Structure 1
Amino acid sequence: MLRLSALPALSDNYIWLLADAAGHALVVDPGEAAPVEAALARKGLRLTAVLLTHHHDDHIGGAAALAARHAATVIAPHDARIPHADRRVGDGDRLTLTAPVAAFEVIAVPGHTRSHVAYAGEGLLFCGDTLFSLGCGRLFEGTPAEMLASLERLAALPDATRVCCGHEYTLANAAFALQVEPDNTALQARAAEARGLRAQARPTLPSTLGAERAANPFLRVDAPAVAAWTAAAAHAHTRVERFAALRTAKDAFRA
């Protein structure tokens, strides 16, 4: 049985820790080492692997120190901006880990960065800064068409897949999403749930893909209300135009 934990880090990041009953653990996107070291000590775990989704320092900043201290294997996409990696992975690769026992498919998800990958398996999706709860990542290196295609690949995973993204952005994303689809009851419920969780200083993550498909406007470019909003806001009519209009509006949005 694998146990999942979200470790708060930096200002609003999450480092994901996955551990088995024998005490073996992996972490995903350790932007700093200290929260991981504290969790390993508190839970009595041994770190064996570090999975990285993309090169941004708030996702890799602690990887080298953790790998050096624990002799953990670092797995990362093909990108020279990630200097320390024992194994490079790309689209369609399969990770089979033995401690903890876990298997993941690697999915290329360009958009936020050109080399961004996600790891899907064990009912989990580690998606870095591509898909957020009720939102998606900014387009630093990719095009709207690339990001939309990446999101649609992730959205095709099973409804029950738990979405483990890199930041606690749900409340801000909800405020924007409610402007786009104010009558979406699934979105209203998710926003209320998120407000309650944050009021208790609890993570709003992981979400599920089923919940995201029902409420996340960036996965709903074909929904009539989203199409109407983007047409009115930006004269957007194709699917890519609608997605680009949403992303541009979110970039300028202040909750």
Structure 2
Amino acid sequence: MAQVEPINAFDDNYIWAIRDTDKKQVWVVDPGDAEPVLSYLAQHDATLCGILITHHHWDHTNGVAELTHVFPNTNVYGPQNSKFKGITHALRNGDSLTVFEHTFSVLTTPGHTLDHICYCNDVLCFTGDTLFSAGCGRLFEGSAEQMWHSFKLFSQFNDNTLIYCTHEYSAANLAFAIAVEPDNNDIKAHIEWVTTQRKNNLPSLPTRFGIERKINPFLRSDLPHMLHHLPHDVTVNNLTPWHNFAALRLWKDQF
């Protein structure tokens, strides 16, 4: 039976480890640093047998070269259009791969970057820097329209599906979420929970789609009231289906 555990990296990254306790084998997601992964493997007397990459940014990929040097039979899965050259198995939208008992579908989710993909099934999703708890990734390469369409793909997952994103951004994202919806009691309750978790040095992740549909302004951007508190200096000059999303992302950039 595989379990998913966080490996802390840098200031706020999580490298997710998928560990089969019986086989003593591990896959990791977005290893930006090799050292904490090697320490984790040594602690659990485990072997690395696979790497999943969501996009090319250095804090998600810089550990790959050392890890594949130490474990030369390790396959590296990632987006087929990635700038990162360490991928051995290129993936496209709709592809699938199996990690222990989990079979994941690949979703292309451009927005944060143009090569971003997510690994999802009905039990859990690795969303990289596309979907955070109470937030979404900054638009470095893609457009708000692309990210909005990427977010629409998440509607297929049930409320209990777990979300494993790659950064501990929940507290900052919730500060923005409550500014967008100051009367949202679900956001207020989640702020209290996250504050307690972080005070106890515990992660605020994974989250669930059921929670995020109540607190995440970007998943809720279609609701008519979401721009009621938009600052006057944030304007969007169109009425496309994604204009709320674009306005919220621009506001968050300045928040």
Answer whether TM exceeds 0.5 for this pair.
Answer: yes
1:148 equivalent in alignment to 2:142: no
Question: How far does residue 123 in structure 1 lie from its aligned partner after superposition?
Answer: 1.1
1:242 corresponds in structure 2 to: 244
Where does 1:186-201 land on structure 2 (aligned, <5 Å)? Answer: 186-201=186-201
Tell me how far apart the structure 2 counterparts of residues 52 and 80 of structure 1 sit (CA, whole Å). Answer: 10
Tell me how far apart the structure 2 counterparts of residues 147 and 136 of structure 1 sit (CA, whole Å). Answer: 9
**TM-score normalized with structure 1 length:** 0.93
Structure 1 unaligned regions, length at least 5: none
Q: 1:230 to 1:242 in 2, by over 3 A?
A: farther
Question: How far does residue 156 in structure 1 lie from its aligned partner after superposition?
Answer: 2.7
Question: How far does residue 7 in structure 1 lie from its aligned partner after superposition?
Answer: 1.0
Identity of aligned residues (%): 40
Three-state SS of the structure 1 residue aligned to 2:242 is helix
Aligned amino acid, residue 87 of structure 1: H
Q: Between 230-239 and 58-67, report the one with greater CA deviation.
A: 230-239
Where does 1:1-255 land on structure 2 (aligned, <5 Å)? Answer: 1-22=1-22, 23-70=24-71, 71-97=73-99, 100-121=100-121, 123-230=123-230, 234=235, 237-253=239-255
Task: Note if contact 1:160-1:210 (Cα within 8 Å) is conserved in structure 2.
Answer: yes
Q: Which has the higher helix share?
A: 1
Question: How far does residue 159 in structure 1 lie from its aligned partner after superposition?
Answer: 1.0
Tell me how far apart the structure 2 counterparts of residues 214 and 80 of structure 1 sit (CA, whole Å). Answer: 33
Aligned amino acid, residue 111 of structure 2: G
Three-state SS of the structure 2 residue aligned to 1:183 is coil
Tell me how far apart the structure 1 counterparts of residues 154 and 63 of structure 2 sit (CA, whole Å). Answer: 27
Aligned length: 251
Aligned amino acid, residue 25 of structure 1: V
Task: Note if contact 1:102-1:122 (Cα within 8 Å) is conserved in structure 2.
Answer: no
Three-state SS of the structure 1 residue aligned to 2:66 is helix
Question: How far does residue 235 in structure 1 lie from its aligned partner after superposition?
Answer: 6.1
Q: CA RMSD in A?
A: 1.6
Three-state SS of the structure 2 residue aligned to 1:225 is coil
Task: Note if contact 2:5-2:16 (Cα within 8 Å) is conserved in structure 1.
Answer: yes
